[in-house]
Amino acid sequence: MTSATAADYGWIRSSSSLFAYALEVGYTLTLVRGILPEELLRVVGAEPRGVCEGSNELIEQHEAHAYGAEEWPESFIAGAFTGRGEGGDWTLALEFGGDLGTRPRLMEALSAGTRAVSHSSNGGKPMDFFHWYENGELRTTFEWPASRTGSTPDELTAVMREAGLNPTGDEAPDVDRKAAVFALAERLTGVQVTEQLLTEAEYGMGEVPEEPAEEWESVTIDITDAHGERTYVRLRRDRL
């Protein structure tokens, strides 16, 4: 495991940084061990969109897709490339305005038999999330470090502290929480993400489709009125 801390990722706040743009419009960075970029794009159902050289071209492709249509598309462009990390090669997938790394179904599939880590921001508001999956299982996830869920929400507390996060409350005023999340991801993957790595990578691109609506079999109506009378009705889908 690396010794990365928030201080190692101060570059994300530079006004000239790629991540100045990413934090403004929203991003997701997903890291998966042991699969190729084209395999990742296949698993998530992306339609191939060729190859681009560097993050500037990836941004151009994102903006052409997002702003080139009359209506805002539900699909988005993801770019994936290979990086070296703990245990071998990892695929890094970067999107702007997308949510690949926050979709449970996709992350469970990507992490089957391996490890997957993602972090994201929706821009603007913002809402920032971190996810760690192992062998198809969500182990730890949080928006605020003190409010964690997953099958093992407390397993990373020591590592979180070392990276600069406070798993029991607010961080110190001089700690950048987003930079600390980058450091936490590096500690779990061994992949050191630098601006040069992202700006110079050759990305295999794919258009990730809108997430399909979940199938449902029934609707339950359960109402208790002011007199304590309860109405309970279960309506099956095939009867509606």
Residue 28 has pLDDT above 90, yes or no: yes
Q: Is 76 helix (H, G, I), strand (E, B) or coil?
A: strand
The sign of the torsion formed by the CA atoms of 5, 150, 91, 1 equals positive
| Interval 124-158: pLDDT, tens | 777 899 999 999 999 999 999 999 999 999 999 99
Are the CB atoms for 167 and 146 separated by under 8 Å? yes
Quickly state the pLDDT bin for 215 (edges 50, 70, 90): low
| Interval 4-16: pLDDT, tens | 999 999 999 987 7
Residue 133, C-beta contacts closer than 8 angstroms, at least 6 positions apart: 107, 108, 110, 111, 115, 116, 117, 139
Both tokens of residue 170? 């607010």
> What is the Cα–Cα distance from 238 to 33, expressed in whole angstroms?
42
Name the pTM for this structure: 0.86
Cis peptide before 173 (omega within 30 of 0): no
pLDDT at 36: 98
| Interval 70-123: pLDDT, tens | 777 889 999 999 999 999 999 999 999 999 999 999 999 999 999 999 999 998
pLDDT at 164: 96
Residue 225 has pLDDT above 70, yes or no: no
Question: Helical H runs in the chain?
Answer: 18-25, 37-43, 55-67, 104-110, 157-163, 177-189, 195-200
